[in-house]
Structure 1
């Protein structure tokens, strides 16, 4: 891709498969009736944004889930299992694909995440791939709960741009969420909407002449 020198990748459903329907079903089993409104890809209860920006702790998040389910007897383990049902895993050879991209571009990860999911993911990649974190796959990996900011707010993109002295006109952002794409555009970034399964990441990058 001409003039692009830097690429910022989303994580969920770009590199790592997630499934909102599984979590909706799990939350329904906990006793939360209005799951389509409570937790969905494009719209959800404010507790999820608050958790992704570390405005609430894991204990406070679990308390909110108990309140939504109207069940104070739900255990931490039950809530975490339901919440982590969202997480499927890294698709195909995407870790190798990322290393190939890194040879040609400065690359970054920018993920809306939270402490419970982050801990699960770190344990998963250690167990399945023998890697401790994403330090080797990106110049820097950014997670919303560490930044206390989240996509699609323009300030999270501006922080990544500023900290790494990126020229937005030379920087591409790849995400599966249209609302996040719009936030990136406000920061002046080039964008690509990931509209295929994450196992097709390599094909997607070749299709758009990135690899």
Structure 2
């Protein structure tokens, strides 16, 4: 029996344009993400380096650009939070049938943009019993330790948790720990249809 709903943020609630960041960085002169860049991105997502260090890293490789231009390109992935998804979440909160937890791979620049540009963010965040962002807890998906952290922190049984994420690598990792999963396809599926699509679990 599912007692806890564990949600990703991007492309589950918040719409993303995942190609946008590289597209915008490409305009600034970046032609490929090197292994070193991917490593820096992951360190930043885990809160192991600051926003200043992160931006400086890219400025050294794209010196013709300003910090502001780079930050705008980095944040280009972020779009909007549809009202119908917020209403769905608020209904879940009001019914008190499930513990609601958010678990997102994100970083300081992205969440700062969200706070400034998504008017409903405070309402959205208030719906959750716990709100975990990778850069704040120093773990990232799909590493097993991030799921183990949530399970231990809330004394959860894996078989009583449903984890919803748009990245298969992340849901596969959770599934390997015994957690139920829904690898949502944001192009064809919507979180508001959770109880229809995963009816067999409820």
* Distance in 2 (alpha carbons) for counterparts of 1:196 and 1:22: 16
Alignment TM-score, normalising by the size of structure 1: 0.86
Of 38, 46, 54, the residue aligned with 2:47 is 54
Contact 2:86 2:124 in 1 (8 A): no
Instruction: Structure 1 unaligned segments of length 5 or more: list them.
Output: none
1:98 maps to which residue? 89
Of 101, 108, 112, the residue aligned with 1:108 is 101
Of 141, 154, 157, the residue aligned with 1:167 is 157
Aligned in 2, Cα 1:38/1:21: closer, same or farther, shift over 3 Å?
Answer: farther
Instruction: Structure 2 unaligned segments of length 5 or more: list them.
Output: none
Q: CA deviation at 1:198?
A: 8.3
Alignment TM-score, normalising by the size of structure 2: 0.89
Instruction: Kindly indicate whether residue 200 of structure 2 is the aligned counterpart of residue 207 of structure 1.
Output: no
* Distance in 1 (alpha carbons) for counterparts of 2:123 and 2:110: 14
Aligned in 2, Cα 1:38/1:194: closer, same or farther, shift over 3 Å?
Answer: farther
Q: How many residue pairs align between the two structures?
A: 198
Of 125, 140, 143, the residue aligned with 1:150 is 140
Aligned in 2, Cα 1:52/1:90: closer, same or farther, shift over 3 Å?
Answer: same
Superposition RMSD in Å: 2.1
Q: CA deviation at 1:91?
A: 2.6
